[in-house]
């Protein structure tokens, strides 16, 4: 089966996120006074062949560990969307 998977790669807690801060600084000027806690990361969508949702997840988590994400600065959230 072919699964669509979404991987969110976000800066780890405690790691500076200047992109988020820049957006945060700009929002009030546009009238979005109440918005805050902005964090910016990357999203990767891909398709993968697997027997089950669990294997799909396992494959993609392996991909993250080995390649898609740098654990020194990033955390990844994997979501298997559809079969």
Partner 1 sequence: MAPEDASVHRVLGLSDEEYETIHGLLGRHPNHLELAMYSVMWSEHCSYKSSKIHLKRLPTEAPWVLVGPGENAGVIDVGDGIAVAIRIESHNHPSAIEPYQGAATGVGGILRDIFTMGARPIAVMDPLRFGPLDDPRSRWIAEGVISGVSGYGNSVGVPTVGGEIVFDETYRGNPLVNVLAMGVLPVERLVLGRASGVGNLAVLLGASTGRDGIGGVSVLASAGFDEASQNADKRPSVQVGDPFEEKRLLEACLELLDEGLVTGIQDLGGAGITCATSETASRGGAGMDVDVSAIHSREEGMEPFELMTSESQERMLAIVEPESLDRVLQISSRWEISASVIGRVTGDGQLRILDGFDGEVLAELPASTLHDDAPEYERPLSPPENLIERRSLDASSGPVDCAADLLVLLRDPAWVYSQYDHQLFLNTVVGPGSDGALLRLRDPRTGHETGRALGMSTDGNHRWCHVDPRQGTAMVVAEAVMNIACVGAEPMAVVNCLNFGNPEHPEVMWQLSEAVDGMSEACRAFNAPVVGGNVSLYNETNAVDIAPTPVVGVIGMHPKLSNPPPGMTVSPDLTLVLVGQQPNEDVSMAGSRWAWEIGGCKDGTLPEFDLLQTVRTAAYVTEIVQRNQVEAVHDVGEGGLAVALAEMAVHSGVGMHISGFDGHRALFNESGGRVIVALNRTDLESFLKETSNRGVPAQTIGNTGGPSLVLGSTINLSIDDLTRAARDELPQALGQGTVSG
Partner 2 sequence: MSRRVGVIRFPGTNCEFDTVDAINELGGEAKVVWHGDSDLGDVDAIVIPGGFAHGDYLRCGAIARFSPIMDAVSTFARNGGPVLGICNGFQVLTEAGLLPGALQKNAGLKFLCRMEQIQFASTANVVGLGASVGDLLNIPINHFEGNYVCAKETLKQLEEENRIVFRYTDNPNGSIGDIAGISNKRGNVVGMMPHPERATSMLLGSNDGSSLLQSLLSTERAPSTNENVASTHDERI
34 binds, among partner 1, partner 2, a second copy, none (CB under 5 to 8 A by kind): a second copy
How is residue 6 written in tokens? 């979404």
Cα–Cα dist 35/27, whole Å: 7
Q: Shortest gap between Cβ of 17 and partner 2 (angstroms)? A: 9
Out of 64, 67, 76, 80, the only residue in the binding site for a second copy (CB under 8 A) is 67
Let me know: does 23 contact 64? Beta carbons within 8 Å.
no
How is residue 78 written in tokens? 């994997």
Out of 22, 47, 52, 82, the only residue in the binding site for a second copy (CB under 8 A) is 47
Out of 43, 47, 71, 77, the only residue in the binding site for partner 1 (CB under 8 A) is 71
């Amino acid at each position: 089966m072919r699964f669509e998977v979404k991987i969110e790669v976000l800066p780890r807690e405690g790691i500076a996120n200047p992109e988020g801060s820049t957006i945060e600084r700009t929002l009030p000027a546009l009238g979005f006074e109440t918005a805050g806690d902005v964090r910016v990361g990357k999203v990767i969508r891909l398709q993968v062949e697997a027997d089950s949702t669990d294997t799909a997840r396992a494959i993609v988590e392996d991909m993250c560990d080995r390649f898609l994400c740098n654990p020194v600065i990033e955390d990844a959230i994997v979501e298997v969307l559809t079969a």
